[in-house]
Amino acid sequence: MTATSPLVLGPLLRFVGEHDASVWVETAAPARVTVAADGRAWHAASFVVEGHHYALVLLDDLEPGRTYDYMVSIDDEQVWPPAGSDLPSSSIATLDRTRATLLAFGSCRTSVPHDAEHHASHGVDALRTFALSLAKGESPRPDVLALLGDQVYADETSPQMRDFIASRRSLDEPPGEEIKDYAEYAHLYELAWSDPAIRWVLSVVPSAMIFDDHDIRDDWNTSWSWHQEINRTPWWHERLVAGLTSYWVHQHIGNLAPEELARDEIWARLDGAGPGEVDLTGPLRALAERVDREPESYRWSYTRALGGSRLIMLDSRAARVLEPERRSMLDDDELAWLDEQMTGDLDHLFVGTSLPFLLPPGLHDAESISESLAGPDRPQPVHRATEALRQVVDLEHWGAFQSGFVEVFELVMSVARGERGRPPGTITFLSGDVHHSYVAEVTDPAGHGASSRIVQAVCSPIRNPMPRALRVLMSQMAKGLVRPMRWLAARTAGVPELRYPWELTEGPWFDNNLAVAEVHDGHVTLRWITGDVVDGDDEHPRLRVVATVEV
């Protein structure tokens, strides 16, 4: 939008069900926001956080399986669709249980310009390429876009972001070129979501989001030692508070179905509020501080219904138990909640978690070994060396939290065996983070009494390619080093036996990618798509299918 527009950012189409939808915007000032469609209008007053103004407009009484073109007005001034845009009108397509489910997913997207220089350094943005293809009618519209973490990079800022930081404070003062406070986070989201094609696709495809480490900082909640060390820095408290506060505003509230949103303790402050903006700054800061001390006191995880299937979006960062004597990816409350959601009587069950549940087998064993060697009962030199190593090379995925990994795997197998209702055709983990894409699958589920296929589908990055030197190592961990690492894991005290082995069946691929899962005829087809610059036209990359996998 123009500098004088009352619309700063958005609209983002967030939750969409059969009868309800939500539209998120940031406004330039206190405002009344209206979304109009099909001769009806829905309204919301803005709320304020750290001097920034936002609204989430809730639409109700929609018809299933219909498409509604919509417009956005701020204080009766129409601000969307933007004048002169060559992109199609924005619309809302409500869920239709008779229609095949289409689910797009991916993670890790840096926000730099879309020109030849940055295509050389960061590759082509797969999400933007998909947006251009969708706008031309060449690709079908997904029912949901699951963005699985690292939507923004608070610790690896772009030149454009550093210019903004330098306009406010010295880059020589901690935390230097990293994000410091809420105002900088707000600008970071603006850079991430302002490109016209990105802005348009987020206005027409419902999105479900979850954070990963770079949304806050690399290695966030790797271990108790990491937690203690980072809390000794003078800037961390403000960074964490700002990161979680901005996440609640920009990502979390739009994730929730209306009934879940109504139960949110912060959102409840807006219900029945009188005239004028409600300032949520204080309550959100208090929430962020409490969540850091007591992760079990607030839940970031949630679910989405997708026709006859279900998507569980699972927090694998903030809900961790880090005490050396008891490490788990999920605290007791989070695990109990997941237990309730892991049921059958579904066509397919999707679990979105930013970190791959099934890593390449060699890497999983390396992380399991590292957790054992960094344990409190190990000699101090071994403990310290392993702790340093796992922070340097990011050995902090599900494999490095064996207690939680084993418990969740048993939940998965219980669903797959039909102990919680009719087993779904597939139980598919959707993940990112690792900057390469692959498919893994449990090798003999029937031998363990399971009827469902158990699959891990990874799509990473959307735009942040892995350095070439690391690609060889990842390929070896996926295949060449599997047997040596399994041998070593079996001989390391404290590493549990793998009850349900798996293997990589496809990949790895190292392109910038967006993945699409299509449910049809009881099966799931997975596709990874990327963008190519053709004839030097950096503004309009062409979509290319990297791989197609039938599950």
Q: Which of 85-89, 181-185, 322-326, 418-422 comes out lowest in average pLDDT?
A: 322-326
Residue 514 within any structural domain of the chain: yes
Structure confidence at residue 3 (pLDDT): 56
| Co-location of 365 and 444 in the same domain | yes
Residue that is last in its domain, among 48, 79, 110: 79
In tens, the pLDDT along 344-358 reads 999 999 999 999 999
Structure confidence at residue 14 (pLDDT): 98
Identify the band that residue 481 occupies on the pLDDT scale cut at 50, 70 and 90: confident
Question: Looking at residue 16, which CATH number applies to its domain?
Answer: 2.60.40
- How far apart, in whole angstroms, are the C-alpha atoms of residue 317 and residue 320? 6
How crowded is residue 57: how many other Cβ atoms within 10 Å of its Cβ? 21
| Co-location of 344 and 443 in the same domain | yes
- How far apart, in whole angstroms, are the C-alpha atoms of residue 506 and residue 510? 12
| Co-location of 358 and 295 in the same domain | yes
| Co-location of 73 and 115 in the same domain | no
For residue 69, what are the domain limits? Answer: 1-79
User: How far out from the chain centre does Cα 30 lie?
Assistant: 29
| Co-location of 6 and 133 in the same domain | no
pTM exceeds cut of 0.85: yes
Residue that is last in its domain, among 50, 79, 108: 79
Please answer whether residues 418 and 451 qualify as being in contact, where contact means their C-beta atoms are separated by less than 8 angstroms.
Answer: yes
Catalogue the E-assigned strands of 424-489.
Answer: 426-431, 437-442, 453-458
Structure confidence at residue 2 (pLDDT): 53
How crowded is residue 496: how many other Cβ atoms within 10 Å of its Cβ? 12
Structure confidence at residue 273 (pLDDT): 74
| Co-location of 114 and 160 in the same domain | yes
- How far apart, in whole angstroms, are the C-alpha atoms of residue 346 and residue 429? 15
| Co-location of 150 and 243 in the same domain | yes
| Co-location of 453 and 361 in the same domain | yes
Among 53, 44, 42, residue whose Cα is nearest residue 92? 42
- In whole angstroms, how far apart are CA 507 and each of 209, 456, 459, 461, 469? 25, 12, 11, 14, 17
| Co-location of 72 and 157 in the same domain | no
Q: Which residues of 170-184 are buried (b: 16+ CB within 10 A; e: fewer)?
A: eeeeebeebbbbbbb
Residue 179 within any structural domain of the chain: no
Helices (H), 275-317: 281-293
Please answer whether residues 85 and 6 qualify as being in contact, where contact means their C-beta atoms are separated by less than 8 angstroms.
Answer: no
| Co-location of 119 and 59 in the same domain | no
How many domains does the chain divide into?
2
Helices (H), 31-125: 116-122
The secondary structure of 5-18, three-state, reads CCEEEEEEEEEECC
Residue 513 within any structural domain of the chain: yes
Identify the band that residue 280 occupies on the pLDDT scale cut at 50, 70 and 90: very high
| Co-location of 446 and 538 in the same domain | yes
| Co-location of 112 and 72 in the same domain | no
Mean pLDDT, the chain, integer? 95
5, amino acid identity: S
34 exposure class (CB count in 10 Å sphere: 0-12, 13-18, 19+): buried
Q: Which of 154-158, 178-182, 315-319, 469-473 comes out lowest in average pLDDT?
A: 469-473
Residue 184 within any structural domain of the chain: no
Residue 330 within any structural domain of the chain: yes
Structure confidence at residue 359 (pLDDT): 95
Question: Looking at residue 108, which CATH number applies to its domain?
Answer: 3.60.21
How much of the chain is in helix, strand and coil states, percent to nearest 5? 35, 25, 40
Among 212, 505, 221, residue whose Cα is nearest residue 360? 505
- Peptide bond connecting 508 to the previous residue in cis, omega within 30 degrees of 0: yes
Query: Structure tokens of 401?
Result: 């939290």
Residue 188 within any structural domain of the chain: no
In tens, the pLDDT along 3-62 reads 589 999 999 999 999 999 999 999 999 999 999 999 999 999 999 999 999 999 999 999
Identify the band that residue 1 occupies on the pLDDT scale cut at 50, 70 and 90: low
